[in-house]
Amino acid sequence: MPTALITGATAGIGAAFARHLAADGFSLVLVARDGERLSAVAEELRLRYGVSSEVLPADLSADEGLEAVEERLRRGVDLLVNNAGFGHGDASSEVSVDEERRMLKVHCEAVLRLTLAALPGMRKRGRGAVINVASVAAFFPQGTYSASKAWVVSFSESMAAELAGSRVRVMALCPGFVRTEFHDRASIDMSGLPGFLWLSADKVVGEAMRDLARGVWVSVPDLRYKVITRIGTLVPHRLAAEVSRRFVRR
Active-site amino acid positions: 145
Cα–Cα distance between 90 and 201 in angstroms, integer? 25
Residue 11 CB burial class (10 angstroms; 0-12, 13-18, ≥19): middle
DSSP string across 57-72 = E--TTSHHHHHHHHHH
Planar angle of CA 174, 223, 87, nearest 5 degrees: 30
| Strand 198-199 with 218-219, pairing | unpaired
- The residue among 226, 223, 200 whose CA lies nearest residue 20 is 200
Q: What are residue 24's phi and psi, to 5 degrees?
A: -85, 0
Return all residues near 100 (Cβ < 8 A) that are at least 6 apart: 92, 144
Cα–Cα distance between 97 and 174 in angstroms, integer? 26
